[in-house]
Structure 1
Amino acid sequence: MGMKIEQLRSFEAVARIGSFTRAAEELFLAQPSLSRQIAALEDEAGTPLLHRAPAGVTLTPAGEVLLPIARRMLADASAAREQLDELAGLRRGSVRLGAPPTLCVSLVADVLAAYRAAHPDIELHITEGGSRSLVQAMDEGALDLALVVTRGAGAMAPGTELVPLLSEELVVISSAARGSAGEGLLPARRGVTLAQLATMPQVAFNRSYDLRVATDAAFASAGLTPTIAVEGAEMDAVLRFVERGIGVAVVPAMVVIDRPGLRSMRLLRPQLSRTVNLARRTGVGPSAAAAAMQDVIFEMVARVAAPGTELADRVDVAPRGERD
Structure 2
Amino acid sequence: MDFDERQLRAFLAVAETGSLGRAARIANLTQPSLSRLIKSMEDRLGHPLFERGSKGMSVTTAGQLLTLHARHIVSEMQSVRDELAALSGLKRGVVRIGAVAAVMRTLVAETVGNLLASAPDLGVELVEAVDDELLDALVTRRVDLVVAASPLDHPEVQQIGVGAYRDGFAVFGATDHCLPPSASIHDVLAQNWVMPGTAFTPRVTFERLLAAQGFRAPRVAVETASVESMIAVSAHSRLLCWLPEPLLAAHVASGSMRKFGVPELTTERAFLLHRRRSGLLPDAARRFVELFPLEG
Category of TM-score, reference length = shorter chain: 0.7 to 0.9
For residues 241-252 of structure 1, the aligned pairs below 5 Å read 249-252=241-244
SS in structure 1 at match of 2:149:
strand
Question: In 1, Cα distance between the equivalents of 2:76 and 2:271?
Answer: 26
Task: Give the match for residue 196 of structure 2.
Answer: 206
* Structure-to-structure mapping, 1:1-324, within 5 angstroms: 4-18=4-18, 26-28=26-28, 35=36, 39=40, 43=44, 45=45, 47-51=46-50, 53=52, 57-89=57-89, 91-150=91-150, 155-166=152-163, 168=166, 170-172=168-170, 181=177, 184-186=180-182, 195=185, 198-199=188-189, 201=191, 204-207=194-197, 209-225=200-216, 231-232=222-223, 234-236=226-228, 238=230, 249-252=241-244, 255=247, 260=253, 265=261, 267-268=263-264, 272-298=267-293, 302=294, 318=295, 320=296
Which of 1 and 2 has greater Rg?
1
Give the partner amino acid of 1:170.
G
**For residues 245 and 146 of structure 1, what CA distance do their matches in structure 2 show?**
34
C-alpha contact (below 8 Å) 1:175/1:183 kept by paired residues = no
Contact 1:15 1:58 in 2 (8 A): yes
Q: Deviations over 1:187-242 (max 9, x none)?
A: 7xxxx8xx457457575432264222211222233332355697446434555677
Task: Give, in whole Å, the separation in 1 of the partners of 2:243 and 2:53.
Answer: 47
Counterpart code for 2:77: A
> Match of 1:163, SS?
strand
The AA in structure 1 aligned to 2:117 is A
Structure 1 residues 229 and 118, CA gap change in structure 2 (3 angstroms): same
Residue pair 2:171, 2:261 contacting (<8 A) in 1 also: yes
Q: Distance in 2 between matches of 1:28 and 1:236?
A: 30
Question: Tell me, what secondary structure is at the counterpart of 2:182?
Answer: coil
- Classify the secondary structure of the residue corresponding to 1:136: helix
2:129 is matched by which residue type in structure 1? G
Structure 2 counterpart SS, 1:105: helix
**C-alpha separation between the residues in 1 aligned to 2:20 and 2:223?**
36
Contact 1:160 1:281 survives alignment (8 Å): yes
- C-alpha separation in 2, matches of 1:14 and 1:255: 33
**1:69 is paired with a residue of what secondary structure?**
helix
CA distance in 2, matches of 1:62, 1:98: 28
Q: What residue number does 1:309 align with?
A: none
2:244 and 2:21 map into 1 onto residues whose CA distance is 45
* RMSD over aligned Cα atoms: 4.1
TM-score for the superposition, normalised by structure 1 = 0.68
With over 3 angstroms needed to count, the CA separation of the structure-2 counterparts of 1:221 and 1:287, relative to structure 1, is same
Tell me how far 1:143 sits from its aligned partner: 1.0
1:248-292 per-position Cα deviation (integer Å, ceiling 9, x unaligned) = 654445556676466685835x87443421121111222111111
Aligned partners of 1:52 and 1:226: how far apart in 2? 40
Say which is worse superposed, 70-79 or 274-283, in terms of deviation. Answer: 274-283
Q: Is residue 256–residue 264 contact of structure 1 (8 Å, CA) maintained in 2?
A: no
| 2:168 match: secondary structure | strand
- 1: distance between equivalents of 2:131 and 2:235? 27
* Corresponding residue of 1:313: none
5+ long unaligned stretches in structure 2? none
Q: 1:102/1:202 Cα in 2 relative to 1: closer, same or farther (>3 Å)?
A: farther
Q: List alignment gaps of at least 5 residues for structure 1.
A: 303-317
Asked if the contact 1:90–1:288 (Cα under 8 Å) also holds between the matched residues in 2, the reply is: no
| CA deviation map 1:136-155 (0-9, x unaligned) | 112112112111121xx5x4
Partner Cα distance (1:115, 1:88) in 2: 19
| TM-score normalized with structure 2 length | 0.73
**For the structure 1 residues 172 and 24, does the alpha-carbon distance in structure 2 shift closer, same or farther, using more than 3 Å as the test?**
closer
Q: 2: distance between equivalents of 1:118 and 1:297?
A: 13
Equivalents in 1 of 2:210, 2:187: separation in Å? 10
Q: 2: distance between equivalents of 1:38 and 1:54?
A: 15
CA distance in 1, matches of 2:140, 2:4: 18
Q: For residues 176 and 58 of structure 1, what CA distance do their matches in structure 2 show? A: 40
1:305 corresponds to which residue?
Answer: none
